[in-house]
């Protein structure tokens, strides 16, 4: 799937299928399984959706549609629905670099990052991971020499770890999605050129804290394998171009609301999941309240 090996598996350790199914049952939602929305249009205060199921294409009408598919899928949906012809993405390039340190640490039992750093001046965000077998497993298709943990004792590996560097979008690669004929293409618009300079500065600062980066083993990930902030349909008072109002609506639509990171401004301060959730909750609450009024 182009990402981490563990995320491409049906039985991923991060799978939320069971959790969602329990929630749907608890809240008595009806759920259209194995159904993909292809496009939509709004007319007569209803939203008509073209849906792809095992039985083929079908149409269904809804009072409201909330789109939370993520920046790529949301953009493709809006392009298929003729809301726009092209979108440009705010993303964050990712550098993954192993390090060596002279001091070992206590035994690590989780796969979560141990240190989080946001550099406001230079606009990058860091996650520092100490060594653990669970971290090695999560990065099995990224870290070189991954099988070393089978032949080298933990007492030695504990002196190593990895650092994830998420770069600000202003000096990351730029991507766009555009429809050409019947095909939708993901294109590289601009290649990042600042990474070596940034890595050298980070390496210099980390040495002061006893972390020595092994830069020649670095791995570079671009769009789709790092954070992709979206921001292609940002909230705005000015509705020109690919802008949405504060209820996530494009092109003066009344009942189609975008609720994922596509409508957020570009904020590079680490994971934005909580911000997305809060904004999604606000949009759905306000829009449903207006409907009930």
Select from 104, 71, 64 the least CA-distant residue to 89. Answer: 71
Structure tokens belonging to residue 116:
């989080």
Handedness of CA 119, 120, 124, 128 (dihedral sign): positive
Q: Which residues pair with 92 in a beta bridge?
A: none
Distance CA(223)–CA(270), nearest Å, equals 16
Distance CA(77)–CA(81), nearest Å, equals 6
* Strand ranges in the chain using DSSP code E only, listed in sequence order: 36-43, 46-53, 56-62, 65-67, 86-91, 94-101, 115-119, 124-130, 160-167, 174-180, 183-190, 211-213, 219-221, 228-230, 256-258
Structure tokens belonging to residue 224:
């789709």
Angle 135-140-141 from CA coordinates, rounded to 5°: 140
Cβ contacts of 172 within 8 Å, gap of 6 or more: 91, 92, 93, 192, 222
The answer to whether residues 262 and 276 touch, using CB atoms and an 8 Å cutoff, is no
Distance CA(150)–CA(97), nearest Å, equals 21
Q: What is the pLDDT along the chain (293 residues), one digit of tens a residue?
A: 555 555 566 666 566 777 778 888 887 777 888 899 999 999 988 999 999 998 899 999 999 999 998 888 899 999 999 999 899 877 788 888 888 888 876 666 666 778 888 887 777 888 888 877 666 666 665 555 556 666 777 777 788 888 888 888 777 888 888 988 888 888 888 877 777 888 888 899 889 988 999 888 888 877 656 666 778 899 998 888 889 999 999 987 899 999 998 998 876 666 678 889 999 999 999 998 877 76
Distance CA(291)–CA(47), nearest Å, equals 14
Within 10 Å of residue 240's Cβ, how many Cβ atoms? 6
Distance CA(75)–CA(78), nearest Å, equals 5
Give the DSSP per-residue string, 201-236: HHHHHHHTTTEEE-GGG-EEE-TTSS-EEE-SS-B-
pLDDT at 119: 80
Q: Which residues pair with 175 in a beta bridge?
A: 89, 188
């Amino acid at each position: 799937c182009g990402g981490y090996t563990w995320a491409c598996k049906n039985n991923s350790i991060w799978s939320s299928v069971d959790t969602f199914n329990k929630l749907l049952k608890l809240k008595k939602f009806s759920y259209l399984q194995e159904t993909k929305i292809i496009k939509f249009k709004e007319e007569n205060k209803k939203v008509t959706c073209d849906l792809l199921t095992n039985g083929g294409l079908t149409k269904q009408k809804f009072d409201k549609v909330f789109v939370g598919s993520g920046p790529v899928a949301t953009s493709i949906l809006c392009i298929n629905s003729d809301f726009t012809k092209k979108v440009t993405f705010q993303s964050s390039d990712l550098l993954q670099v192993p390090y060596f340190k002279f001091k070992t640490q206590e035994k690590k039992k989780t796969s979560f990052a141990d240190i989080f750093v946001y550099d406001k001046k230079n606009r990058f965000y860091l996650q520092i991971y100490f060594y653990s077998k669970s971290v090695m497993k999560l990065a099995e298709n990224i870290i070189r020499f991954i099988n070393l943990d089978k032949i080298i004792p933990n007492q030695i590996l504990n002196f190593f770890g990895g650092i994830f560097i998420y770069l600000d979008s202003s000096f990351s690669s730029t991507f766009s999605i555009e429809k050409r004929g019947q095909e939708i293409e993901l294109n590289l618009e601009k290649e990042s050129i600042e990474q070596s300079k940034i890595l050298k500065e980070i390496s210099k600062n980390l040495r002061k804290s006893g972390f020595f980066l092994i830069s020649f083993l670095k791995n570079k990930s671009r769009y789709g394998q790092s954070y992709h902030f979206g921001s292609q349909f940002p909230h705005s008072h000015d509705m020109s171009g690919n802008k949405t109002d504060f209820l996530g609506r494009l092109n003066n639509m009344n009942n189609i609301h975008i609720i994922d990171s596509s409508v957020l401004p570009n904020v590079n301060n680490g994971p934005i999941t909580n911000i997305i959730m809060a904004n999604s909750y606000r949009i759905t609450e306000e829009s449903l309240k207006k409907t009930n009024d």
